Amino acid sequence: MECVEIIGGKPLSGRIEIQGSKNAVLPVLAGCVLHAGISRIRHCPRLQDVEDMIAILRELGCLVWWEEDCLTVDASFLSGTVLPKETAGRMRSSIFFLGALLGRCGQADIPYPGGCVIGARPVDFHVEAMRSMGAGIDEAEGRIAARAKRLRGVEITLKLPSVGATENIILAAVLAEGVTVINNGAKEPEIEELCRFLRGKGARIRLLPQGSLEITGVSALKDSEHELIADRIAAGTYLLAAAVTNGVVTLGRMPVQHMQALLDCLEKMNIAIKKEGKDITVDCRKPHRGIEFLETAPYPGFPTDLQSPMMTLLAVTEGRCRLRENVFEARFKTVEQLRAMGAQITTEGREAIILGVPGLHGAQVRAEELRGAAALFLAGLGAEGRTQISGCGFISRGYENICENLKQLGADISVEE
């Protein structure tokens, strides 16, 4: 999907179901190699990042197959520990194989991970943690080569609550000798999801009273079946799409308990929210109130992955908002494209000043990364006239069937390869 054309100005209406979590499934897929057997993952989203992880698993000797929304990984025949540069080098989540392969095989050779252009995401925390657990690591020619007869449990205090580093340490610790304690680890729902998956395989992981994670190493894991949580970022994007178009939308299979920061913002903006079990209905037909200040933060704060889509909504909401990005330093790349559609946004460092306008107009714009692509989709949905978005391959990395879902909600959207 390279180019998408949207005829905007139509309020979204109807109901869709939310996909499985992209940010949760990627470390889970790496965790499948810890067990010489079967792992079944239900409610697994069909995304480009998932397909790239599958390609890596197959390159390592795993058998992987789909049955509807269930992905099965058989890692009985794991035969490699070297990740291919072509696939692993273009996605950030390949770094999870560092801890997983070290844990099971005692060695891993991976390229420095790639990904989006939203800012620096160094792997220093990952490498330092593996070293502290007894791994010898050589970094040369764009690769990380790690070796350890068997990892040993240690107490690790992260300088920052990095989600990826926390997940990698968990993966490394599950089969390590002794007890590993992670202090100042990330608290995102995706962390608990990885722990839930691994506990289902026989891992010994518990949350300590002060909030640290304790992992007691085991000698082996077992076959398991796991149903993935819904994607809170995809859910938030569809809620914001309803708001941008002044629509009325019901979303099913919602991870309601993980979305309070966004729901609080929407309620402040005069958007009516009705919760019924795992369904949420938003009625966005009343005039929206502005928000003077909003900043991203680690969970349970406002998620950085929804900052760009929220910027689109703020761009068409009356008033002035100061939006601060505290997680990634280069996450305002969509601003120039929104300006081309009539938004009034200025940036300085990590802050964007947004002056709401009555509406946007269609234009030719280009996406440069995943969540920025989602922001442009929302802008096109709310804009008057025709919007052509190129670079839409990014959106398939994180949103399953987004064009079909938006069509189901009444959007006029078409795809050009």
DSSP string, 252-310: ES--GGG-HHHHHHHHHTT-EEEEETTEEEEE--SPPPP-SEEEB-STTSB-GGGHHHH
Q: Which of 32, 105, 116, 265 is catalytic?
A: 116
**208 plus 272 within the same structural domain:** no
Contact 20, 43 (CB under 8 A): yes
Report pLDDT for 416.
82
Q: Are residues 58 and 199 in the same domain?
A: yes
Count structural domains, the chain: 2
Residues 47 and 144 in one domain: yes
Q: Bridge-partner residues for 145, per DSSP?
A: 109, 138
Bridge partners of 6, per DSSP, are 387, 413
- The helix/strand/coil state of 349 is coil
- Check whether 162 has a pLDDT greater than 90: yes
Residues 282 and 379 reside in one and the same domain: yes
Q: pLDDT tens across 245-287, in order?
A: 999 999 999 999 999 999 999 999 999 999 999 999 999 999 9
List 108's β-bridge partners, or say none. 146
What's the chain's average pLDDT?
95
Supply the range of the domain harboring residue 34.
22-227
Residue ending a domain, choose from 204, 227, 250: 227
Q: Where are the beta strands (DSSP E) in 32-177?
A: 38-42, 63-67, 70-74, 107-111, 136-140, 143-147, 155-157
Based on the domain organization, do 32 and 158 belong to the same domain?
A: yes
Note whether 35 and 200 are within 8 A (CB).
Answer: no
Query: Which of 227, 261, 286 is the last residue in one of the domains?
Result: 227
Q: Which of 112-126, 181-195, 228-242 has the lowest mean pLDDT?
A: 112-126
Q: What is the mean pLDDT of residues 372-391?
A: 97
Average pLDDT over residues 56-80: 97
Among 211, 227, 243, identify where a domain stops. 227
Does residue 283 share a domain with residue 216? no
The answer to whether the CB of 234 falls within 8 A of the CB of 18 is: yes
The band of 331, judged by pLDDT with boundaries at 50, 70 and 90, is confident
Q: What is the pLDDT of residue 117?
A: 44
Determine the average pLDDT of the residues in 27-45: 98
Q: Tell me: do 192 and 110 sit in the same domain.
A: yes
CATH code for position 310: 3.65.10.10
Pick the more confident residue, 231 or 393.
Answer: 231
Give yes or no for residue 364 having a pLDDT over 70. yes
The owner of tokens 């599950």 is 174
pLDDT of 206: 97
Residues 207 and 63 in one domain: yes
Q: Is 329's pLDDT higher than 80?
A: no
Pair 201, 93 in one domain: yes
pLDDT of residue 121: 52
pLDDT of residue 2: 85
Residue 202: per-residue pLDDT? 98
Q: What is the pLDDT of residue 119?
A: 44
- Active-site residue, 116 included: yes
SS (H, E, C) 365-405: EECCCHHHHHHHHHHHHHCECEEEEECHHHHHHCCCCHHHH
In a shared domain, residues 194 and 315: no
Is 94 in the same domain as 142? yes
Tens of pLDDT, residue by residue over 83-130, are: 988 888 778 899 999 999 999 999 999 998 864 444 445 789 999 999
Q: How far is CA 384 from CA 9, 152, 359, 414, in A?
A: 5, 60, 7, 16
- In this structure, are strands 213-216 and 344-348 parallel, antiparallel, or unpaired? unpaired
Element (H, E) at 407: helix 402-408
* 33, 167: one domain: yes
Say what the pLDDT of residue 87 is: 85
User: What local confidence, expressed as pLDDT, does residue 141 receive?
Assistant: 87
What number of other Cβ atoms are within 10 A of residue 225's Cβ? 12
Tell me: the pLDDT tens digits for 299-321? 999 999 999 999 999 999 999 99
CA dist 110 → 124, 141, 275 (Å): 14, 11, 44
